[in-house]
Structure 1
Amino acid sequence: MAQNENDDSVITENGFDEFGHKNDYDEQKKVEQNGSFVHKKEEEEAASVEKVFKHLLVPSWRNQLTIRAFVVSFFLSILFSFIVMKLNLTTGIIPSLNVSAGLLGFFFVKTWTKFLEKSDMLKQPFTRQENTVIQTCVVASSGIAFSGGFGSYLFGMSEHVAKQSSDTSDFKDPKLVWIIAFLFVVSFLGLFSVVPLRKIMVIDFKLTYPSGTATAHLINSFHTPQGAKLAKKQVKVLGKFFSLSFLWGFFQWFYTASDGCGFQAFPSLGLKAYDNRFYFDFSTLYIGVGMICPYIINISVLLGGILSWGVMWPLIETREGHWYKAGLGDASLEGIQGYRVFIAIAMILGDGLYNFLKVLSHTLWGLYNQIRNKRRDNVLPVGADQDSSSSSPELSYDDQRRKQLFLKDQIPTWFAVGGYVAIAAISTATLPHIFPQLKWYYILVIYLIAPTLAFCNAYGCGLTDWSLASTYGKLAIFTIGAWAGASHGGVLASLAACGVMMNIVSTASDLMQDFKTGYLTLASPRSMFVSQIIGTTMGCVISPCVFWIFYKAFPDLGTRKSQYPAPYAIVYRNMAILGVQGFGSLPDNCLLLCYIFFGAAIVVNLTKDLIGKVGRFIPLPMAMAIPFYLGPYFAIDMCVGSLILFIWEKINKAKADAFAPAVASGLICGDGIWTLPASILALFGVKPPICMKFLSRATNSRVDTFLGN
């Protein structure tokens, strides 16, 4: 996915979401430069990837789209949708799952083809192009679990979340039919909006797309003899930790008979710390996430938890009766909860605004340089010296081969434009029936400006690997909310508009990442586009069904103390309320603190960029904002994952680099897939037999006395 929290933390398959990526940007840039500009014969031979595959015939684009690829993609899409959905509904931090998708796709199809080969039934060998199709389809499908807003704008429309906000007049409860219809009419527009730009982005501008490049290198390596051996070992490691994680989740389930029971309620740092949500909850999922996320992300989340739950909230609670009314409880937005939610929103908006302006400036500057260089290349040389100095360097064998095949299977521009217009027309006519508050002219305006924003997001993602889909979604929230107003259902209109915008710009950047991956693996643009279409179609059905299982199995879904608090649902709803109603409902001094933290987020980001390499040690405001509402318990899990990786790298860095992603993926997948049987048990009313709780000595004495009487 490229995003990130959940939203913004979509570490989007896209790399890490809005606030961080583990993509080895500089290394990939060096690789690309070496592949393009090295002229010495022996160095070119050593650096060439395509010469390794020179003896293999590249299948046609239709042969790259095999039935077995989409069967494997379907089952992997279900697996990854559960993982992304669980992450969405817990903390919203979603790591890149590209490596896992590529690795598992390689393993399943390779196993199947080996079986057929031994039986003399194999008709078509497994190629890296087919592997790319699988990875593209799986990531496109599971990406809908993020961009569909199940943990943010879409669930924020529900009455359940509305009751926790300051405005309960405007809500729309989730229903499977309208959710699927909504996703089908908004999820394909982004694909058609950037298709005509694929040659400009990938070949002319030579944008890096670090996540797409890294995925391509991974897939290319799998299909070499050495890479296949390593992939086999990685799959074994992934399977081992998948099993351990799944069995650990099963074991933990027995002790969770009611709220506040089980290992996740273990006061490992003391009861007082537990009351302030400082504890280790034994979650293998977030240990795995911590092993994939960069160190600075995990440290930032922990620092945010310490700042908020360790310092700020205890101090503000001492002002009860002065800054806010006494006796409001822990869930009222007019009390302490208002500070938690709105200060987090202020930091998210400050960080999002800064990065939006930063990526936009990079985009405009990059475009200016591209156009200027293009004009310079078009000037006819006057003399021999000028001719030699202005001539562009000769393309390497790899680039010649890739360019030839990338331009071979064209997607007609009329098809892309016609598809966009047709889907936009259907969507404009359909959406007002799903959301009567979202007028047709709001939608028309969004669709007129969306291609420009989709281009900006796709171009910025190519430069920085940052998808700002959630930032564009917030822009739609405030714009449409202010336009509609409170009296015309502005809250629901703005949340629905957020979904429309997020889906367009998110899928646009994802598709361009996939085009880059396809370019480097010789996969046809047509097969990439079709794979993305099929994956998106799968996601529009699978993701709502997965969400529906959670929604029906866990009645307390979306409450702060729930197993699945869906933190960004309340955040997005309150953003919509702010956009419609203004700041009148905030507690005393909350607005002042919001201004301070909004400005601090901008200053911290600016400082990080100005001081060079030292800036990588400065915490990230977006990551710090996440525990302001939830608490720091998951940050402790993630930091445990970072500590394991750090020690492993110190002991054996080569082995850690090779197998840490597989270990992390196994931990994430095992815990994530355990959610399916746990949800089914909950749906059938099967409850765990044991409640494991921890009491203070004084409370335990009172319980003993009561039971003794």
Structure 2
Amino acid sequence: MIGTGPGTGPGTGPPRADPDVSTPLLTAAPKRKQIEGASFTVRGVAVGLAVGLVICFSNMYFGLQTGWVSTMSMPASLMGFGLFRLLRARLDPKGLLPFSPVENVLVQTVAGSMAIMPLGCGFVGVLPAMNYLLTPEERGPVVLGWGKLLLWSLGLCYFGVVFAVPLRRQVIIRERLKFPTGFSTAVLISVLHGKAKDGEGNTSGGFASLAADGGGDGVSNRNRDRIGDRIGDRNGDGNGDGEKRAESWKRNVRLLLVCFFVSGLFTFATYFLPVLRNIPIFGSAAASAWLWTLNPSLAYVGQGIIMGPATTLHMLLGAIVGWGVLSPLAKNKGWAPAPVGDWENGSKGWIVWVSLAIMLADAIVSLGYLAFRSAKQYLPGFQLKSDRAKALLSHITHAGYAPINSSPDANDDPGTDSDGTPSLGRTGKEQDEEDAPVDQQVSNRTVVVGLALSIGFCIACTHIVFGDLVPLYATVTAVFMALLLGIMGVRAQGETDLNPVSGISKLAQLFFAFIIPQSNKSSVLINLVAGAVSEAGALQAGDMMQDLKTGHLLGAAPKAQFWGQVIGATAGAVVSTFIYRMYTTVYEVPGDLFQVPTGYVWIFTARLVTGKGLPPMAKEWALGAAVLFAVTTAVRTQTPSTRWHALIPGGIAVAVGMYNVPSFTLARTIGGLFGWWWRSTMGWKDTPLIVLASGSILGEGFLSIVCLIMESVGVPHLK
């Protein structure tokens, strides 16, 4: 599974000075302005649940196919805005409560928390591994009924949300980490509500110029913050642009509907003609023998647009190496004698070991680097030079303002130094001054009580569902390890826009291999459960922090977002259970449509770390790949702002391209290249591109429900 957000493409432009960013470091931060609109409304929650339901169906569908799941924050904001415009007469009949940006934040928060539940509750990876891939010797298969599935889902869906709250002040208010998806979502909401203009003076036609004003990787955090105060005030309230806004809105709606319809129509056609999902690209022989086909799904093209050209090209590299080099090599050498498509003894399963080694190497290096960065930030003496240490000592001694940089650059963040660490020239009280009012924040009592209850509930649910198969101490250890790894996941998402939950879960599995005796017949099952708990906590904490970043930029109340997340997570857990049972009852899993590749990654990892052994020569090739990508990942972490950064292969992306069959990767690559052509060659705006991708993804995801109904009632396929 790859990261849950976009933002992997190239930066949006070089740093630009902002006319109001010349304030010295010792100057207090501006007070938070009064925000129009209510941050929490019943209608906002209702619309968020409606949008989240559609995305949840899509994520379950695509997750069971390839493991790809996304919160789709920007599409959720766009869909929420569209629903309010279409239903304005019913939602606000007297025109007294217009749909505000902070209410849109609530909509996308509820929708996003609901959308990630297919992954957060393990429905696209862990549960298929337990249900279909565990052998009797491994205490499997484990088939859970409706009640236990629901209890398991609810047990996993809360503690990550609560744990994100105490991290908010550190990573958003003080360190001001980027969280690019959260920033981009805030910009899009500002544009939709007429609070910002694009380069042509159009208040809703696009946000590329706004992102260049503060969204690129090289742009200062100071420019990124306070969108409502800065961009809105600078551009005015949009009066006089009503006709442009209306026309732009109509164009975007038409584009969304056309893409939704075309993608849905193709999905409908593939039900009757399944051959359309696997079109040979190198001839029928290569397709049948080596699985080189193309699935021309517009939804996967849309996913590629969201992922960006760099990520999709890295995935293509993984597909070429895995399916074009390693698969024929393993087959011809006799290391994988079964047919290529056989997960157990064919090259399809053999190359998973190599992709797994790449993911582990990427996760260890990336999270190790983040741990080192955290140590530098939380232990200043660990990295300060003597002169800076003296400045810190002087600052503490005199209890005053001690600016480290006497002449700060106009683009420097008053809350951070040039290396991204928290500024030592401002006190904690001063840094917190831009935060929300106390009555809008989640109280410490709520956090303490909520964390205790959610952890206890998770432990109790896991024990009830699995009983003596999973010892209590393993579940307790998994929860607290999830909290620790959640910090790493939040920081990774804040700095890179990628939450490495795949690597985090694999590290958790590796850790539990040391504390669970291999003689325990349930060691593989215990390993799966522990990894799932760790993945759930890290995933939800990262998703919550992206939403909190959006809310902070637009002035939404953190308390409203917190309860919106809780509501969305609860609904998502229930709905995901229902959808999973429908799909697994109607379709063969694993099968031609739902291959559940992440389920195989989970079970192979569990078997590896519990000493089950590897196929011939898989160990040597996996070790070599791990060393290679440990080096490339180390180089990527040290060169984030260079022009050639995108040319260095990303380990997770290459691994995903390797364990997914080429048909999905090729379609995503087409989307990534199309998005690059759209932006760079055509020079068009980003908003229509998001609309196009969203319509394509949601069209197939929604029409898959119709295909599910037809399959359940026995509507025949055409030959």
- Deviation of 1:390 after TM superposition, in Å, equals 10
TM-score by length of 2: 0.81
1:410 to 434, 441, 462: 441
Alignment partner of 1:99 is 2:132:
no
- Corresponding residue of 2:220: none
CA contact 1:469–1:506 (8 Å) conserved in 2: yes
Alignment partner of 1:589 is 2:623:
no
- Corresponding residue of 1:498: 531
1:199 to 169, 173, 180: 169
Alpha-carbon distance between aligned partners in 2 of 1:104 and 1:190, rounded to the nearest angstrom: 26
Change (3 A) 1:384 1:455: closer
Change (3 A) 1:345 1:64: same
Alignment partner of 1:379 is 2:412:
no
CA contact 2:300–2:671 (8 Å) conserved in 1: yes
- Deviation of 1:489 after TM superposition, in Å, equals 0.5
* Mapping of residues 161-200 of structure 1, within 5 Å: 161-162=133-134, 169-200=139-170
- Corresponding residue of 2:497: 465
Q: Give me the identity figure in percent.
A: 22
Alpha-carbon distance between aligned partners in 2 of 1:145 and 1:317, rounded to the nearest angstrom: 35
Alignment partner of 1:516 is 2:549:
yes
- Deviation of 1:354 after TM superposition, in Å, equals 1.8
- Deviation of 1:329 after TM superposition, in Å, equals 7.9
- Deviation of 1:38 after TM superposition, in Å, equals 4.0
- Deviation of 1:587 after TM superposition, in Å, equals 2.4
- Corresponding residue of 1:439: 471
2:49 to 74, 86, 91: 74
Change (3 A) 1:329 1:653: closer
Alpha-carbon distance between aligned partners in 2 of 1:94 and 1:642, rounded to the nearest angstrom: 17
Alpha-carbon distance between aligned partners in 2 of 1:191 and 1:331, rounded to the nearest angstrom: 39
- Corresponding residue of 2:121: 148
Letter of the aligned partner of 2:493 in structure 1?
C
- Corresponding residue of 1:695: none
Letter of the aligned partner of 1:37 in structure 2?
V
**Could you list the runs of 5+ residues in structure 1 that have no partner in the other structure?**
1-5, 41-47, 257-261, 692-709
Q: 1:453-480 deviations in whole A, cap 9, x for unaligned?
A: 3333323332332323332222222222
Alignment partner of 1:303 is 2:303:
no
Alpha-carbon distance between aligned partners in 2 of 1:385 and 1:626, rounded to the nearest angstrom: 48
CA contact 1:351–1:622 (8 Å) conserved in 2: yes
Change (3 A) 1:339 1:128: same
CA contact 1:290–1:642 (8 Å) conserved in 2: yes
1:538 to 571, 575, 580: 571
CA contact 2:76–2:108 (8 Å) conserved in 1: yes
- Deviation of 1:245 after TM superposition, in Å, equals 0.9
- Deviation of 1:538 after TM superposition, in Å, equals 0.9
Alpha-carbon distance between aligned partners in 1 of 2:532 and 2:23, rounded to the nearest angstrom: 48
Q: 1:162-191 deviations in whole A, cap 9, x for unaligned?
A: 36xx96543312433212111212221112
Change (3 A) 1:402 1:511: farther
Change (3 A) 1:218 1:441: same
Alpha-carbon distance between aligned partners in 2 of 1:89 and 1:35, rounded to the nearest angstrom: 49
Alignment partner of 1:353 is 2:364:
yes
Alpha-carbon distance between aligned partners in 2 of 1:328 and 1:405, rounded to the nearest angstrom: 60
TM-score by length of 1: 0.82
Q: 1:425-450 deviations in whole A, cap 9, x for unaligned?
A: 23323322211322111222233444
Alpha-carbon distance between aligned partners in 1 of 2:379 and 2:176, rounded to the nearest angstrom: 14
Q: After alignment, is 267-276 or 222-231 more displaced? A: 222-231
CA contact 1:457–1:469 (8 Å) conserved in 2: yes
Alpha-carbon distance between aligned partners in 1 of 2:674 and 2:262, rounded to the nearest angstrom: 16
Alpha-carbon distance between aligned partners in 2 of 1:327 and 1:459, rounded to the nearest angstrom: 43
Letter of the aligned partner of 1:466 in structure 2?
L
Alpha-carbon distance between aligned partners in 2 of 1:567 and 1:367, rounded to the nearest angstrom: 39
CA contact 2:138–2:523 (8 Å) conserved in 1: no
CA contact 1:263–1:281 (8 Å) conserved in 2: yes
**Could you list the runs of 5+ residues in structure 2 that have no partner in the other structure?**
25-29, 196-202, 205-244, 416-425
- Corresponding residue of 1:210: 180
- Deviation of 1:138 after TM superposition, in Å, equals 0.4
* Mapping of residues 9-408 of structure 1, within 5 Å: 9-10=2-3, 12=4, 14-15=5-6, 21-22=8-9, 24=11, 34=18, 37-39=21-23, 58-59=36-37, 63-95=38-70, 97-113=72-88, 121-158=94-131, 160-162=132-134, 169-224=139-194, 226-227=203-204, 229=246, 230-256=248-274, 262-275=275-288, 276-320=290-334, 323=335, 330-331=341-342, 333-369=344-380, 375=392, 378-379=395-396, 403=434, 405-408=436-439
Alpha-carbon distance between aligned partners in 2 of 1:161 and 1:377, rounded to the nearest angstrom: 62
2:630 to 581, 585, 602: 602
Change (3 A) 1:682 1:217: same
- Deviation of 1:211 after TM superposition, in Å, equals 1.6
Alpha-carbon distance between aligned partners in 1 of 2:483 and 2:318, rounded to the nearest angstrom: 36
Aligned length: 638
* TM-align CA RMSD: 3.3
Change (3 A) 1:646 1:311: same
Alpha-carbon distance between aligned partners in 2 of 1:220 and 1:403, rounded to the nearest angstrom: 19
Letter of the aligned partner of 2:366 in structure 1?
N
- Deviation of 1:122 after TM superposition, in Å, equals 3.4
2:488 to 447, 452, 456: 456
- Corresponding residue of 1:703: none
- Corresponding residue of 1:430: 461
Alpha-carbon distance between aligned partners in 2 of 1:387 and 1:478, rounded to the nearest angstrom: 43
Alpha-carbon distance between aligned partners in 2 of 1:342 and 1:683, rounded to the nearest angstrom: 35
- Corresponding residue of 1:668: 697
Alpha-carbon distance between aligned partners in 2 of 1:255 and 1:509, rounded to the nearest angstrom: 40
CA contact 2:114–2:572 (8 Å) conserved in 1: yes
Alpha-carbon distance between aligned partners in 1 of 2:674 and 2:324, rounded to the nearest angstrom: 25
Q: 1:210-267 deviations in whole A, cap 9, x for unaligned?
A: 22122112112211172254455323211211111111221232223xxxxx212332
- Corresponding residue of 1:567: 597
Alpha-carbon distance between aligned partners in 2 of 1:554 and 1:653, rounded to the nearest angstrom: 43
Change (3 A) 1:405 1:443: same
Letter of the aligned partner of 1:459 in structure 2?
R
Change (3 A) 1:36 1:581: farther
Letter of the aligned partner of 1:678 in structure 2?
C
Letter of the aligned partner of 1:161 in structure 2?
L
Letter of the aligned partner of 1:308 in structure 2?
G
Alignment partner of 1:476 is 2:546:
no
Alpha-carbon distance between aligned partners in 2 of 1:133 and 1:468, rounded to the nearest angstrom: 25
Q: 1:250-309 deviations in whole A, cap 9, x for unaligned?
A: 1232223xxxxx212332431133132222222111111122212122112222222222
- Corresponding residue of 1:529: 562
